[in-house]
């Protein structure tokens, strides 16, 4: 073992790491305790045990590979004040108000009860946005990553909110944690969106299409749910192919004024918005949820190439504001996990297929004809 340089707590840190790793050399580099180690067992699991023991003592370990050798650097953890609960509460109440107004406004367009529409839309859209963020919060709690409560962002009609955000206050331990933090929000949000869409379409009515109306281009999943709600006796498997063909036709053929149209209830609109939000969050760019997933699977270089292609795709699809937002996040280098050596587990790699399926089912063309 090399000289400890008089670093306070060096011996204690050395003892904890030695319980999980074989220490080949220990020294202080740039005022950081640094250990060249070999794993006794699974390095990923061993590092998590080291992290669990060092965190209460005010230290944060980082595992890296240097010149073919496994190294663990240890730094003092920074104490950060958690976000004020009063601010998140004020923003939540403000967003409830703006979504109530949006639901009222949307109800008047298609002749629904404005007061019932206001309440049901607010509940639906707040559930979609809130449970998306709750998925992130639960994943953060699972991996002991410090994170604030959700901050809802009020907005104007027709949505009434710009979503919600959770501020992460500590780094994720490994790629598995990063994958779960990125995937948990879209998956939980998708489940809620699915329920909201079914309920919303059941509350909607079909009538003659208006020649001067605005028509939504909707995701394949929305078309499928609409068809199954109004024609429950059709073969659900065969109708999936028909829904896919209808979805593709939206790119080229506007609806005929003589055809029937679904006059969406505000709750159905909340389901549509939920699908749109799911797709945008799953874009593999920058610090978006999909960007976290792409980084955990592909690493820095390949995920950045994928991110550039995703941003170009957003521009070409007409989502310019979202593309600019993704580009802004893309300019920031994605932080490495504490353990940047261990690979993503095969189970999580396999689960990425589910995320791709959700993306395809919820993919939304340009919002309006």
Question: Residue 65's domain is classified under what CATH number?
Answer: 3.90.1070
In this structure, the answer to whether residues 35 and 162 fall within a common structural domain is no
**pLDDT category, 80, cuts 50, 70, 90?**
low
Tokens of residue 287, six digits: 């610090």
Is 223 among the domain residues? no
Within 10 Å of residue 95's Cβ, how many Cβ atoms? 25
pLDDT at 369: 40
Is 133 among the domain residues? yes
> Out of 152-156, 261-265, 319-323, which region has the weakest mean confidence (pLDDT)?
319-323
In this structure, the answer to whether residues 43 and 181 fall within a common structural domain is no
Question: What contacts 31, CB < 8 A, 6 or more positions away?
Answer: 5, 7
Say if CB 174 and CB 152 are below 8 A apart: no
End position of a domain, from candidates 59, 76, 93? 76
- Between 85-109 and 114-142, two packed helices, what is the crossing angle to 10 degrees? 140
> Out of 27-31, 65-69, 77-81, 312-316, which region has the weakest mean confidence (pLDDT)?
77-81
> Out of 67-71, 178-182, 183-187, which region has the weakest mean confidence (pLDDT)?
67-71
| DSSP per-residue letters across 64-118 | EEETTEEEEEEEEPPP-PPPPHHHHHHHHHHHHHHHHHHHHHHHHHTT--HHHHH
Q: Is the pLDDT of residue 114 over 70?
A: yes
Q: Is the pLDDT of residue 323 over 60?
A: yes
Is 356 among the domain residues? yes
Average pLDDT over residues 355-366: 89
3-class DSSP state for residue 225? helix
Q: Is the pLDDT of residue 368 over 50?
A: no
Is 291 among the domain residues? no
In this structure, the answer to whether residues 68 and 151 fall within a common structural domain is no
Is 14 among the domain residues? yes
Domain count, the chain: 2
Within 10 Å of residue 146's Cβ, how many Cβ atoms? 14
Average pLDDT over residues 156-168: 91
In this structure, the answer to whether residues 44 and 160 fall within a common structural domain is no
pLDDT at 335: 85
In this structure, the answer to whether residues 71 and 97 fall within a common structural domain is no
**First CA to last CA across the chain, in angstroms?**
70
End position of a domain, from candidates 41, 76, 111? 76
In this structure, the answer to whether residues 136 and 277 fall within a common structural domain is yes
End position of a domain, from candidates 31, 47, 76? 76
Is 159 among the domain residues? yes
- What one-character DSSP code corresponds to residue 285? S
The radius of gyration of the chain's CA atoms, rounded to the nearest angstrom, is 25
pLDDT at 5: 47
Is 47 among the domain residues? yes
Q: Is the pLDDT of residue 149 over 60?
A: yes
**Phi (first) and psi of residue 269, to 5 degrees:** -60, -40
CB neighbour burial string for 265-292, b if at least 16 within 10 angstroms, e if fewer:
bbbbbbbbbbbbbbbbbbbbbbbbbbbb
Report the percentage of the chain scoring pLDDT > 90: 59
The mean of the pLDDT values for the chain is 89
Report the percentage of the chain scoring pLDDT > 70: 93
In this structure, the answer to whether residues 90 and 131 fall within a common structural domain is yes
Average pLDDT over residues 9-29: 91
In this structure, the answer to whether residues 57 and 90 fall within a common structural domain is no
Q: Is the pLDDT of residue 173 over 90?
A: yes
In this structure, the answer to whether residues 162 and 16 fall within a common structural domain is no
Is 347 among the domain residues? yes
In this structure, the answer to whether residues 113 and 189 fall within a common structural domain is yes
In this structure, the answer to whether residues 343 and 194 fall within a common structural domain is yes
In this structure, the answer to whether residues 99 and 157 fall within a common structural domain is yes
Q: Is the pLDDT of residue 329 over 80?
A: no
Domain range for 71: 10-76
Average pLDDT over residues 217-225: 93
Average pLDDT over residues 296-310: 90
CA neighbor of 74 nearest in space, from 37, 38, 22: 37
């Amino acid at each position: 073992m090399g000289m400890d340089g008089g670093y306070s707590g060096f011996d204690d840190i050395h003892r904890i790491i030695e319980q999980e790793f074989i220490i080949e050399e220990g020294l202080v580099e740039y005022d950081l305790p640094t250990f060249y180690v070999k794993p006794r067992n699974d390095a990923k699991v061993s590092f998590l045990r080291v992290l669990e023991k060092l965190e209460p003592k005010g230290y944060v370990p980082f595992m890296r590979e240097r010149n073919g050798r496994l190294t663990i650097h240890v730094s003092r953890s920074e104490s950060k004040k958690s976000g004020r609960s009063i601010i998140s509460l004020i923003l939540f109440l403000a967003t409830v108000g703006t979504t109530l107004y949006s639901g009222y406004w949307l109800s008047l367009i298609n002749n629904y009860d404005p007061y019932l529409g206001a309440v049901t839309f607010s509940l639906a859209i707040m559930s979609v946005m809130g449970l998306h963020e709750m998925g992130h919060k639960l994943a953060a709690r699972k991996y002991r990553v410090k994170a604030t409560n959700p901050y809802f962002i009020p907005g104007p009609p027709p949505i009434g909110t710009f979503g919600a955000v959770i501020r992460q206050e500590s780094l994720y331990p490994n790629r598995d944690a990063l994958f779960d933090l990125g995937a948990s929000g879209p998956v939980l949000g998708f489940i809620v969106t699915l329920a909201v869409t079914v309920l919303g379409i059941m509350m909607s009515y079909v009538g003659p299409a208006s020649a001067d109306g605005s028509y939504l281009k909707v995701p394949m999943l929305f078309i499928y749910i609409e068809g199954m709600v109004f024609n429950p006796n059709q073969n659900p498997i065969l109708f999936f192919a028909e829904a896919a063909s209808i979805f593709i036709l939206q790119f080229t053929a506007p609806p005929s004024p003589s055809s029937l149209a679904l006059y969406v209830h505000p709750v159905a609109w909340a389901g549509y918005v939920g699908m749109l939000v799911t797709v945008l969050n799953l874009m593999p760019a920058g610090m978006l949820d999909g960007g976290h997933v792409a980084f955990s699977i592909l690493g820095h270089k390949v995920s950045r190439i994928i991110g550039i292609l995703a941003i170009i795709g957003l521009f070409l699809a007409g989502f310019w504001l979202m593309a600019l937002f993704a580009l802004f996040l893309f300019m920031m280098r994605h932080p490495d996990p504490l353990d940047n050596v261990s690979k993503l587990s095969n189970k999580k790699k396999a689960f990425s297929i589910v995320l791709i399926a959700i993306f395809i089912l919820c993919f939304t063309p340009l919002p309006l004809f």
